[in-house]
A and B are shown apart, each in its own frame.
Chain A
Amino acid sequence: MFHRLLHLPIVLTGLLGFTASAAAAELSNPLEVAAKVDASLLAELSTSAANPMQRIGDEEFLRRAYLDIIGHIPSPEEVTAFVLDPAKDKRAKTVEKLLADERFGENWGRYYRDVIMYRKTEDRAEIVSGQLEDYLKTQFNTSASWAKIATDIVTATGDGTENGACALIIAQQGQPEEVVSEVSRIFLGVQIQCAQCHDHPTDRWKREQFHELAAFFPRTASQLILTPDRREIKVVSQDFFLNRQPPMGNMRRRGTAEHYMSDLKNPTDKGKLMEPVFFATGDKLPLGTKDADRRGTLAKWITEQDNPYFAKAFVNRLWSELNGEGFYEPVDDIGPDRDCTAPKTVEYLAQEFGKTNYDIKWLFRAITATSLYNAPSAPRRNPDQTPMQTNVAQRLRGDQLFDNLLNALGVSEPQPPGGAGAMGALYGRRFSPRGNFNTVFGYDPSERRDEVAGSIPQALVFMNGANVNAGIRANGRTALAKTMSEIKDDQSLVGEIYLRVLAREPSSNEMKTSLAYIKKVGNRNEAFEDLQWSLINSTEFLHRK
């Protein structure tokens, strides 16, 4: 059965190619692809067909899709409208609506900002973090392909405060070894840097192959000049070299003509001259190639269809984010010697994604239509249990949680205090209320999600934070005060607060507990403050279920 299914889409796209004239129509229908993914998963994971995947209710789907796609929970009005909508295709329509929302690019721009910036080895790269976020936001919102984004980032030059695509190179100080480690990890899902110092014992990559990859970047450097009268942080590209004294220590302000692999036994030696060779396909460039050609060609090879890693790395990451479990884990380690839970399924989805020319929104449509995306969430499975039988709850990222908190408290985003000095302006976003919140709540999205733990400082912010406690007051100009004056019936008010904080109605149990608590406290204001406090401090508030 499985083989037949795998061949179907190819036939299908072939047919469409004959009939459709518009290029867009040649894309495989994401809903059909989703159905085939479902069948393929079922075949590969050989679970009992008598036990079909359950489907979550509308409220749960809506909160999940909103958080995943735009990073916010739906408003009480949106929840009600969605639940009451009789349309059969309302889930797909909602996904479409969310992909067209500005906040889609904002959410995923912030996500990939974190993917890049959490691995920075140059702390001052924080200066360009905001620009990176803006760049990515624009790309995602204008439906730029994943290939375009990868190309922009690999070939970036110029001022990082103007071109956000420079951020990856700046974050690694333009050091060729670090830059290619990140390019390989993020765009190919291959942790080739393990071979930086020695041939890897459990991997096929040789030390030479790592340094051949680094040989695409010797002429690139990151220049960071921060003095009172001069501020530059830029990626420079250089093709003419004079004999200069090497800079002191490991500072690297300008490139070198070629890359040398150091001799580990003799570290003062110049090392071995390396040709630029792309390990994934074996394509190579001659020594002496100009910087723009090196990086431009590398970007082309990385994004070409015959590179087996590019599409798969993105599919694996997005699948993992949306379903809570990757085909490969961690998300950025999909090399050929790694275990994969469903190799044929990921291969198929990656091929389809490749055919769309790496259309990011298309992949969202396809994955959100799978049964797994619509399945209830369960705790992380034990290693001996069958993979991918349920969706898995995930802790929200700092930005999502910050927006959730603003929503719950009914306040708009506080801005950083004005009149900051020059350094304040440079690091403005870092020290904004959102930036400070992210310092406490953010995490590296490439880490295994089940190992992202809550911390005491986080609990303290929610338990005792002045802003949280001012925001939940039942008097003054808070959202709670307004709602309390509008809704006099306690039961309706409990429902309203649940909707606003958790985007769902309370269960009958929860309603009973809440009403009993209100009665016991005997002070309506205090009781509702406590209820709102408890929901904001709940496990559910912190998670995308």
Chain B
Amino acid sequence: MSLHLQSDISISRRGQFRRRDFLRLVTAGAAAGGLVSWQDVMAESAPLLRKQGMACILLWMQGGPSQFDTFSPKPGHANGGETKAIATAAKGVEISENLPRTAKVMDKVALIRSMNSKEGAHPRASFLMHTGYLPTATVKYPTLGSIVAHEIGDHEFDLPSFVRIGQRGPGQSDTAGLLGVNFDPFAMQAQDVGRMPQNTTLTTTDPRYLRRLGLLKDLEGDYAASGGKAEVADHAKVYAKAASMVRSPKMSGFDLSKEPQKMQDLYGNTPFGKSCLLARRLVETGVTFVEVALGNWDTHQDNGERTKDLCGQLDQPYAALLTDLAERGMLDKTLVIWTGEFGRTPRINPRAGRDHYPRAFNMTLAGGGVKGGQVIGKTDSGGDSVTDRPVGISDLFQTICHSLKIDAQKENMSSIGRPIKIVDGGEVVKEVFA
């Protein structure tokens, strides 16, 4: 009976089930008898395997990197500053001299130089770039990692499907939102990279740990009997999942010491290098989405010097990640996104800085079926505005969904029952793909 019920639920048009829908479908007796719990339905309604093995790594450049000093140098123009352009492995594509190693892997990268939006404030622009929507008070739009974990993650996997490395800022509001806490990012502090994440190490011996869980189970009976049956069942499911996670051999996916020294050297002994290596290791272990943040791109002062330094932190790990994924045969099924929330002003300000500029900026895509070695879109000679093939945020989200084989038209329900499309509007940038 319960199997029938669950298949009923999983063909629902909305694709997402609320507890009240669930209760509507389950007879009072079945629910009260604890035959099926909410967590059961959550698990059953999910695809059983990471869909077609696709995964995604988002390299989030917090603060908004200068396009002029990363992938879109303008050495002949006053707006270009002192940054020179260098040739790359992609014929005819030049990028900033700040990224020499990246230049050698540009044959794997599709570079979009015509990104544009209207949002020039960090929080709104970050939210937009993570969710495809502007923040509103009433609908909590899910962040990309949660969407991907929800759509193509393996829900029976021991580890979380979405790991976020490095906290971006206080009160950061892009979470799983309307998709629910099961799809929230599993957050790791940057300083914990290389170590086990917080609270995942047993504080007792394993036998004692199991003994404690046994006592907990035995003591739950009275609470369950006095009207708490459903809560106790849900609680037990969450604890079982948490316990199987911390005791899983897959937790070694977090352990960088398992990587040969040569591999650690390839990525470099820096926080961002280690984070990128961890991202690859986690994807290899079966995690669907890893977001890694590299901060401080908000260069209102001394843009040239600071961006050069930041590119120094980015260059080796980014090139290593693409090379390593390709050598392991994982790149075809792993989309690597490099972007910030916006770009920076064409004109250099009196403090040698560049300010926020959403009107024309750049980002890159690699892997996941993306055709490398190409540039999409153009700006005018001074980089003030897009002159060819403008790409909006919705277009980018459509393109990401296409790569990951996610149906961008699918609707999820907001808490007040409003259907929300995964992506609203926009079109796939077809040239991105071969």
* B28 pairs with A385, CB closer than 8 A: yes
Kindly state the separation between the CA atoms of A450 and B127 in the bound complex, as whole angstroms. 27
CA gap between A251 and B23 in the complex, in Å:
44
Q: Could you tell me which residues of chain B, from 115 to 162, have a CB within 8 Å of some CB in chain A? A: 117-121, 123-124, 126-127, 134-138, 140, 160
Q: How far is the CA of A250 from the CA of B227 in the complex (A)?
A: 51
> Cβ of A537 and Cβ of B138 under 8 Å apart?
no
The interface-forming segment of A270-278, A344-352, A461-469 is A461-469
Distance from A518 Cβ to chain B, minimum over Cβ atoms (Å): 10
Contact at A464–B181, with CB atoms within 8 Å? Answer: no
Task: Note all chain A residues with C-beta closer than 8 A to B415.
Answer: 330, 447-448, 451
Q: Which of A123-131, A154-162, A399-407 contacts B (4 or more CB under 8 A)?
A: A123-131
User: Is B170 in contact with A427, judged by CB distance below 8 angstroms?
Assistant: yes
**Minimum C-beta distance from B371 to chain A (A):** 32
Whether the Cβ atoms of B171 and A124 lie closer than 8 Å is yes
Q: Least Cβ distance of B128 to chain A in Å?
A: 10
User: Which B220-266 residues have C-beta < 8 A from chain A?
Assistant: 220-224, 226-232, 234-235, 238-239, 241-243, 245-246
B235 touching A123 by the CB < 8 A rule?
Answer: no
Q: Within the assembled complex, what's the spacing in Å between the Cα atoms of A457 and B242?
A: 8
Q: Is B380 an interface residue (CB 8 A)?
A: no
Name the one of B124, B140, B203, B216 contacting A250, with C-beta atoms under 8 angstroms: B124
Q: Are A181 and B137 in contact (CB under 8 A)?
A: yes
Question: Does A517 reach chain B (CB closer than 8 Å)?
Answer: yes
Contacts of B235 in A (CB 8 A): 454, 538-539, 542
The answer for the CA separation of A463 and B117 in the assembled complex, in Å, is 44
Binding-face segment, B194-202, B362-370, B404-412:
B194-202
B231 pairs with A451, CB closer than 8 A? no
Cβ contact of A121, chosen from B28, B136, B246, cutoff 8 A: B136
* B385 contacts partner chain A, Cβ-Cβ < 8 Å: no
* Residue A245 lies at the interface, judged by CB distance under 8 Å to chain B: no
Q: At the interface with chain B, which of A231-239, A360-368, A526-534?
A: A526-534
Task: Tell me if A479 is interfacial: C-beta within 8 Å of chain B.
Answer: no
**Interface size for chain A: under 10, 10 to 19, 20 to 34, or 35 or more residues?**
35 or more
Instruction: Specify which of B119, B137, B219 is in contact with A119 (CB 8 Å cutoff).
Output: B137
B-chain residues with CB within 8 Å of residue A419 when the two chains form the complex? none
Indicate if B430 sits at the interface (CB-CB under 8 A): no
Q: Is the CB–CB distance between A125 and B23 below 8 Å?
A: no
Query: What is the CA–CA distance of A431 and B228 in the complex, to the nearest angstrom?
Result: 34
Is residue A101 contacting chain B, with contact meaning CB distance below 8 A?
Answer: no
Give the residues in chain A near B219, CB-CB below 8 Å: 510, 513-514, 534-535, 538
**Residue A206 CB within 8 A of the other chain:** no
Q: Annotate A474-490 by CB proximity to B: 1 below 8 A, 0 otherwise.
A: 00000000000000000
Contact (Cβ within 8 A) B136 A453: no
Residue of B nearest to A429 (CB): B170
Complexed CA–CA distance, A385 and B32 (Å): 13
| Contacting pair B19 A539 (CB below 8 A) | no
At the interface, yes or no: A19 with Cβ under 8 Å from chain B? no
Cross-chain contact B227 with A378 (CB below 8 angstroms): yes
Shortest Cβ distance from A517 into B: residue: B215
Q: Is B137 in contact with A121, judged by CB distance below 8 angstroms? A: yes
Q: Are B208 and A123 in contact (CB under 8 A)?
A: no
CB-CB under 8 A for A123 and B171, given A448-B415, A451-B19, A463-B243:
yes
**Residue A294 at the B interface, CB < 8 A?**
no
A48 located at the interface, meaning its Cβ lies under 8 Å from any Cβ of chain B in the complex: no
Q: Report which of B138, B186, B224 forms a contact with A456, defined as CB distance below 8 A.
A: B186
A208 at interface (Cβ–Cβ under 8 A)?
A: no
Which chain B positions have C-beta within 8 A of A422? none
Q: Bound complex: CA of A422 vs CA of B413, how far in Å? A: 40
Contact at A120–B171, with CB atoms within 8 Å? yes
Tell me the number of A-to-B contacts counted with CB atoms below 8 Å: 210
Of the residues B32, B118, B227, contact of A393 by C-beta under 8 Å: B227
Query: Is A380 within 8 A of B245, CB to CB?
Result: no
A124 pairs with B216, CB closer than 8 A? no
> Is the beta-carbon distance between A431 and B223 smaller than 8 angstroms?
no
Question: Which residues of A have CB within 8 Å of B218?
Answer: 513, 517
Interface residues on B, range: 35 or more
- Contact among A393, A460, A537 with B228 in the assembled complex (CB-CB below 8 Å): A393
Known A178-B137, A251-B120, A464-B203; judge A459-B238 contact (CB<8 A).
yes
Report chain A residues within 8 Å CB of B201.
Answer: 464
Q: How far is A526 from B207 in the complex, measured between Cα atoms in Å?
A: 13
What is the distance, in angstroms, from A380's C-beta to the closest C-beta of chain B? 7
**A539 in contact with B231 given A185-B137, A450-B19, A509-B222 (CB within 8 Å):** yes
Q: Report the bound CA distance from A459 to B239 in whole Å.
A: 6
**A535: which B residues are within 8 A, CB to CB?**
219
Query: Does B24 count as interface, using CB distance less than 8 angstroms?
Result: yes
Known contacts A379-B227, A460-B242; A507 and B222 CB within 8 A of each other: yes
Question: A539 near B228 (CB under 8 angstroms)?
Answer: yes
Set of chain B residues within 8 Å of A248, measured between Cβ atoms:
120
At the interface, yes or no: B416 with Cβ under 8 Å from chain A?
A: yes
Q: B20: which of A383, A456, A526 is its contact (CB, 8 Å)?
A: A383
CA distance A509 to B220 in the complex (A): 11
Q: How far is the CB of A61 from chain B (nearest CB, A)?
A: 14
A120 to B172, CA, bound (A): 10
Chain A residues whose C-beta falls within 8 Å of the C-beta of B134 in the assembled complex: 121, 250
**Residues A383 and B24 in contact, CB atoms below 8 Å apart:** yes
Assess whether A500 is interfacial by the CB under 8 Å rule.
no
Query: Does chain A have a CB within 8 A of B31?
Result: yes
Contacts A249-B120, A383-B23, A456-B238 given; indicate if A377 touches B227 (C-beta within 8 A): yes
- Chain A residues near B120 (CB-CB < 8 A): 248-251
Most buried by A among B28, B199, B211, B218: B199
How far, in whole Å, are A377 and B221 apart by their CA atoms in the complex? 16
Q: Is there contact, CB below 8 Å, between A460 and B238?
A: no
CA distance A310 to B169 in the complex (A): 36
In whole angstroms, what is the CA distance A133 to B350 when docked?
41
Contacts of A129 in B (CB 8 A): 171
- Give Cα A173 to B171, complex, Å: 15
Residue in contact with B220 in the complex, picked from A123, A463, A469, A538, CB distance below 8 Å:
A538
Which chain B residues lie closer than 8 Å to A250 at the CB level?
A: 118-121, 124, 134
Contact of A185 among B138, B228, B232 (CB under 8 A): B138
Is B222 within 8 A of A464, CB to CB?
no
Measured between beta carbons, the chain A residues less than 8 angstroms from B119 are: 249-250
* C-alpha gap A385/B230 in the complex (Å): 16
* Interface presence of B94 (CB below 8 A): no
Residues of chain A within 8 A (CB-CB) of B160 are 456
Report whether B184 and A193 are in contact in the complex, using a CB–CB cutoff of 8 Å. Answer: no
* Distance of A504 from chain B, by nearest CB (Å): 10
Q: Is the CB of B173 within 8 A of A463?
A: no
7 contacts between A and B (CB under 8 A): A119-B138, A194-B416, A384-B24, A393-B227, A393-B231, A460-B246, A466-B199
List 19 other contacts, CB 8 Å, given A193-B138, A453-B234: A123-B127, A125-B171, A178-B137, A194-B416, A333-B416, A383-B20, A383-B24, A450-B20, A453-B182, A454-B238, A456-B242, A457-B186, A457-B199, A469-B204, A533-B216, A537-B216, A538-B216, A538-B220, A538-B235
9 A-B pairs closest in CB distance: A126-B171, A459-B242, A121-B135, A460-B199, A119-B137, A249-B120, A123-B123, A469-B203, A455-B181
